[in-house]
């Protein structure tokens, strides 16, 4: 089974030294999306500053086979939404 490495670059380099054995590129795509979703969920507000980060998926030879790019900008909350948020707190 091929091994894929999921490197995250977000102002620091988080290099995947172990990799994950997957059946092929289709499964690597699915894993990249799952992992990116988990990062966004776990890091919450950290990525809402407009800074781009990306995940580079490489094969065992070190060749980039997939790249996911992310950037999120907080455009502010409408005043009525802000009051709802405060009321729930």
The string of DSSP letters for 57-80 reads: EEETTS-EEEEEEE--B-----HH
Q: What pLDDT is recorded for position 50?
A: 75
Q: What pLDDT is recorded for position 3?
A: 98
Average pLDDT over residues 68-74: 84
Q: What pLDDT is recorded for position 86?
A: 55
Question: What are 32-67's pLDDT values in tens digits?
Answer: 999 999 988 887 777 777 788 899 999 999 999 999
Average pLDDT over residues 62-76: 88
DSSP state letter for 55: E
Q: What pLDDT is recorded for position 20?
A: 97
Domain count, the chain: 1
Task: Tell me which residue range forms the domain holding 55.
Answer: 3-88
């Amino acid at each position: 089974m091929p091994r894929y490495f999921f490197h995250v670059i977000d102002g620091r380099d988080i290099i995947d030294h172990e990799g994950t054995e997957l059946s092929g590129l289709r499964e690597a795509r699915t894993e990249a999306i799952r992992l990116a979703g988990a990062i966004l969920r776990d890091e919450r507000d950290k990525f809402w500053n407009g800074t781009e980060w990306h995940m580079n998926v490489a094969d065992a030879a070190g060749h980039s086979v997939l790249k996911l790019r992310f950037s999120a900008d907080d455009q502010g909350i409408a005043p009525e939404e802000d009051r709802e948020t405060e009321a729930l707190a």
